Structure 1
Amino acid sequence: MIRKQIKECSECASRNIYRDVEKGETICRDCGLVIEDRMVDMGQEWRSFEDDKGGDRRRTGAPTSATQFDGGLGTEVGTTSDFYKLGSDRERDRFFRLRKWNIRISTAIERNLKVALAELKRVSSFLRLPRSVEEEAARIYRQAVQKGLVRGRSMESVIAGALYAACRRHEIPRTLDEMGEASGIEKKEIGRTYRFVTRELGISIKPSNPADYIPRFASALKLSPETQSKSVEILEMARDIELTSGRGPTGIAAAALYVASLIHGEKRTQREVADVAGVTEVTIRNRYKELIKKLKLTKAVEKSKIKK
């Protein structure tokens, strides 16, 4: 079970969170609330004796990780660089013989995981995803392999689907377009694989919150904090009348940001907003019309145009 990373202050809802690793505390920089005071340190545990003079002072190994094919617990018979440290020919022959058998006895699943998890790390790094999401995706992929869900599908599409599922579970907004760009797989294929894997593994995914996409979209469009806040307010109004139900979260979020930019005189074209959100201009246009009509924002938009 993964403990969710704290994203905002429970007192003032600020996202300006500071994590003091030495004290094990999570603190809100705005109001000073100590949100958490028992953080787990996943780093090495060190010995510290007076007679220790250099050398390896680690008292434990590295933490286990689902992103390593052996969970971080396996051993390997040396590396190629170790060959040059050996003195006699007899020792070198023995080294290569042991290394060869170590590779031979690896199972097909282990070999699959070794390649797949390297690809997972690459895609995760491209998308700048946190370690917690990477670990969750690795666990999902392992379960998929163990249940034989990878057969008949490309390894890359299952990796992308697992990462997308992990992002959704951790409320880290990433679009299928972004996932497709990072993995080189068509977004439709990622979507199909994501739905298949989550269904077969019984993974529950909460509906995406459109407001989670606002900060990234606003940053890419270089919009002010006021416009960003207004777009979140528009989304809350839309949610109250169930206008967000049954609509893609990225499309409705982008449209809300487009409306807010018009109201605050920071006009961006529908093409610019669509490109950032990874949706079509038609989607922006349709959602925009729905928002200003149902939320009665036509006057506010017209008023901003007159002021300008």
Structure 2
Amino acid sequence: MSLRDIYESGFDDDDGKTINQTHCLECGGSLRTEGGETACTECGLIVADCRIDHGATPRTFEGEESKREQTGAPITPARHDRGLSSEIGRYRDANGNALSSKKRRQMSRFRREHGRARWSSKKKRNLATACLEIARLTSALELPYSVRERASQLYRDASSEDLIQGRSIEAIVAGCVYASCRCGGYTRTIEEIAGVANCGEEAMKNGYRVLNKELSLKALVPTPKTLLPRLIAEFDVPNDVQYRATELAEIATESGIANGCQPSGVAAACLYLASSEAERSIPQADIASVAGTSPVTLRKRYTALQDELDD
């Protein structure tokens, strides 16, 4: 289904938003723009992904000489050198002319010495390794670039606080990615991240605990409503069931049913109750397995929701 003609177009310099629409036309959920990508917070539908180039544009004013200088890529914590590295070419010079064989051998020696002098300390070499690993994890988990930048900054903060010493880089990196997801409101479980990380689940949990304690992370508390889109995507339920499950999640939060309970268990109960009301019942064991909870917990939250609706 093409969405190009049904949304009003526009642009906001502050967040890179390219449309004026505030609600998703598929499920009615709110839209969130991050890094130029606009997506629905409920169903995850990507409405617009046009990224604006904020690089400098050459301008000439009256009475001034024409200047064609261009700035490079923006500074980012996602790269070990913040994107300010220098690269030595191989076969052509700056004007595009081919290099002679003598000059190519000379450039090869320059590249070798440049590579040796790139790392002034072991800490910076470890930072480069960590940035590459963070990029791999966020790509494997299909997370946005903002999560990668936040995770890289968390690793830099941990390195400056000497939290890496005596610990595995892979464990701290996995903990940084999980912490970035928690702080940004992205629902990724420890099991999902540990499944693609180069460390065990216990090592990752230990890395996250250290970061949370020493850096005082402002992690967002997961709610049943934020966990629902993942469950809905797994079972491909119709729109009416999605709306009802979201409504039940809000009722569970407002009535206090979700207080002190595992959010995934409440979300699973909301989806099961919504599907049952629409006569599209999904097996409890299947929903509980995807949600990471037990069928017993699902039934308890299901009963509490039914009692609340009956009242």
TM-score by length of 1: 0.75
What is the CA-CA distance between 1:79 and the residue it aligns to?
A: 4.9
Q: Is the 8 A contact 2:184 2:220 kept in 1?
A: no
Kindly report which structure 2 residues correspond to 1:89-100, keeping only aligned pairs within 5 A, or say none.
89=102, 91-100=103-112
CA distance in 2, matches of 1:59, 1:153: 42
**Which of 145, 163, 166 does residue 177 from structure 2 map onto?**
163
1:183 maps to 197
Q: What is the SS of the residue equivalent to 1:112?
A: helix
2:20 maps to 27
CA distance in 1, matches of 2:225, 2:24: 23
Distance 1:257 1:158, change over 3 A: same
Q: Number of residues paired by the alignment?
A: 271
Q: What is the SS of the residue equivalent to 2:180?
A: helix
Could you report, residue by residue, the CA deviation over 1:217-258 in whole angstroms, capped at 9, with x for unpaired residues? 112111122222222222222223333233332232122212
- Supply the AA of the counterpart residue of 1:285: V
The answer as to 2:307 corresponding to 1:296 is: yes
What is the CA-CA distance between 1:97 and the residue it aligns to?
A: 3.4
Q: Is the 8 A contact 1:28 1:35 kept in 2?
A: no
- Supply the AA of the counterpart residue of 1:246: G
2:39 maps to none
CA distance in 2, matches of 1:223, 1:229: 10
What is the CA-CA distance between 1:184 and the residue it aligns to?
A: 4.6
Kindly report which structure 2 residues correspond to 1:263-302, keeping only aligned pairs within 5 A, or say none.
263-277=277-291, 279-280=292-293, 282=294, 284-293=295-304, 295-296=306-307
- Supply the AA of the counterpart residue of 1:168: R
Q: Is the 8 A contact 2:90 2:107 kept in 1?
A: no
2:137 maps to 123
2:114 maps to 102
The answer as to 2:234 corresponding to 1:217 is: no
The answer as to 2:149 corresponding to 1:138 is: no
What is the CA-CA distance between 1:104 and the residue it aligns to?
A: 2.3
The answer as to 2:104 corresponding to 1:86 is: no
CA distance in 2, matches of 1:128, 1:269: 29
- Supply the AA of the counterpart residue of 1:86: L
Could you report, residue by residue, the CA deviation over 1:67-108 in whole angstroms, capped at 9, with x for unpaired residues? 1110001223x155669953143x345323332332222121
- Supply the AA of the counterpart residue of 1:46: T
1:246 maps to 260
Distance 1:295 1:267, change over 3 A: closer
CA distance in 2, matches of 1:31, 1:120: 31
1:64 maps to 75
TM-score by length of 2: 0.74
2:48 maps to none
Q: What is the SS of the residue equivalent to 2:20?
A: strand
Q: What is the SS of the residue equivalent to 1:64?
A: coil
CA distance in 2, matches of 1:58, 1:269: 63
CA distance in 2, matches of 1:298, 1:209: 20
Distance 1:175 1:28, change over 3 A: same
1:235 maps to 249
What is the CA-CA distance between 1:150 and the residue it aligns to?
A: 1.8
2:222 maps to 208
What is the CA-CA distance between 1:135 and the residue it aligns to?
A: 0.7
Q: As a proportion of its length, which structure holds more helix? A: 1
CA distance in 1, matches of 2:240, 2:200: 36
Q: Is the 8 A contact 2:258 2:266 kept in 1?
A: yes
- Name the % identity: 28
CA distance in 2, matches of 1:34, 1:299: 33
